[in-house]
Chain A
Amino acid sequence: MRPPCEDVRADLSAMIDGALSSRRAKELDDHLAGCGACRAERDALRRTSTLLAESGGERAPRSWVGEAVRRASGPRGKAPARSALRPVWALPSVAAALALAIVFVALRVNQSVPAPAAPRSAPAATPEPAPPAGASDAPQPEAQSPAPSRLVAEAKKERAAEPVADKAVAALKAKPEAAPRLEAAPVMEMDAISPAPVATIELSDIRFPAPAPPAAGAGAPAEPSRDAVSAPSAVGGAANVGATGSRSVRVRVRLDGDSRVVSAERAGDTPSGDDAAFIASLKGAVLRLPADSVAREAAAKDSRLSSLTALRKNARADAALRELLVEIRLPASRNP
């Protein structure tokens, strides 16, 4: 006695894979013996399956394989092997520690630089009157205020606004801008939902001042050493599409402690060669961070602030991240 066609067709796919019980397979065989339409359907499904199989066999691009091998045998590969017992839950701590290290480095950089801020390339060196330079950019006037406490507040996602350091701003405006500067504000954000938190560094308000007019540029390079890295950004700020003479680029780095994929996004104007060079070097810098530069033991347990203390002890993380921050600004110095 034959089961109805609809009933049979539901199982035809499993049948061609031999995945039916012998009793069910027998039932279907009986049906197919007397039903041409179902036989045709079975054959079509089989050809579909064959078609898919034939479409396979694509090789992974050699460049991908090379990259994976390189990573496997790079500094990461030589790092002490993670304990086999805890391969998974080491990840959150790594990510957390990395994020913390970045805040910490940002704090240190800020402390060592009394008057950082967002230097505007003022074309023709016209000092603007009242409003701080950043005020014309819609998003945040507070972007001018890289007070350490503010960075921490951002880390906690408390957006407490702090008064702009007027003097610092004034001093900066007075200073002629000869060398292009890059300002990278590392701000982290921990993924509270994910079981393996992801640390995100956002570098925004990276300004490439326009080639300075000869008159304005006559001043001095103003020691573009480590001062150039400051922290004027805010989480979630909108893109500052270049004001006259400068461009803003937003780059978002995703470090998940384990794999360090750098995803860079530009916001604002069209991509240019400069941006590409910048992003490439950023990627390189992140990938070169030694795996064990991350203080696993400094993982945040209850609050990030308490872990900052633990993190201070990890000189390696500190050094590696400092190097990263320094490296980030290299392309800007090369910028004409």
Chain B
Amino acid sequence: MTQGIRSGNLSPLAGSPTAEASGERRDLDAAAVVEAHADFVHSICRRLTRDTEEARELFQESFVRILNGLPAFREDASVRTWICQIVMNTDRNRRRWWSRFRRNFQAAEPAPGAAGEGPGLEPADRGAGPERAAMGAEARSRIESALAALPDDQRLAVVLRDVEGMSYEEIAAATGVEVGTVKSRIGRARAALRVRLADLVDRAKPEASR
């Protein structure tokens, strides 16, 4: 999954003064960057947030930052690591704001987590990803809720590894921790998921066993 995306679509923009000079060119490149990384950013955003609206906002905010940061992006760095860092920073800033907002204004409202909460805007955006084929919707939602039950750091690590196919080193760089920490987060996450999804795991065809 990592292969192919790395740098390829970014190179026209990164650090090139001529690209910056041409507004039209810039727009095209920006669109290409969005297209190339939308699925990856979407995947992280969904795992970092609790509802679709929140995920959508994080997604949009992250892309603004990604595109603004492109001129400063060094091509020797891993694109996904860099993008992941931006999304996580954006998320952190948002959470700071949200926590203050909740403290100030939502004291009287029902606790978060209730299904269907959120501003209820733009219902058309709810329910994502029409292109889900390989796995049944039910299994998918089981997996998602099992993921959601994990601590944030474990969830992110295991998603970046197993869903997004990043290496331990990339994940360590993206999340700002040691490789050893990444290993143990992934280990704990898999162990928890293996228990929580025991039936699915046991049903999965044992092609891997030797």
Contact = CB atoms under 8 A, between A and B. Distances in A.
Contacts of A46: 208-209
A49 interface: yes
B201 to A, nearest CB: 5
10 contacts: A11-B187, A17-B168, A39-B209, A44-B202, A58-B132, A61-B128, A68-B59, A72-B34, A73-B31, A81-B20
A193 interface: yes
Interface of B: 1, 15, 20, 23, 26-27, 30-31, 33-35, 38-39, 41-43, 46, 56-57, 59-61, 63-65, 67-69, 71-72, 90, 93, 96-97, 100-101, 104-106, 119-121, 124-125, 128-132, 134-135, 139-140, 143-144, 147, 158-159, 161-165, 168, 179, 183-184, 186-187, 190-191, 193-194, 197, 200-202, 204, 206, 208-209
Nearest to B23: A78
B164 A56 contact: yes
Interface stretch (A162-170, A263-271, A323-331): A263-271
A99 interface: no
B39 A59 contact: yes
A46 B65 CA distance: 36
A153 interface: no
Interface in A60-78: 60-61, 63-65, 67-69, 71-73, 76-78
Nearest to B204: A47
A252 B105 CA distance: 10
Contacts of A258: 61, 64-65, 68
User: How many A residues touch the partner, as a band?
Assistant: 35 or more
Interface string A221-265: 000000000000000100000000000001010101011010111
A264 B191 contact: no
Nearest to A20: B183
A39 B65 CA distance: 45
Given A60-B128, A236-B104, A69 B30 contact: yes
Contacts of B159: 52
A37 interface: no
B71 A87 contact: yes
A77 B26 contact: yes
Given A13-B190, A48-B194, A55-B143, A68 B204 contact: no
Contact of B67 (A48, A72, A194, A263): A72
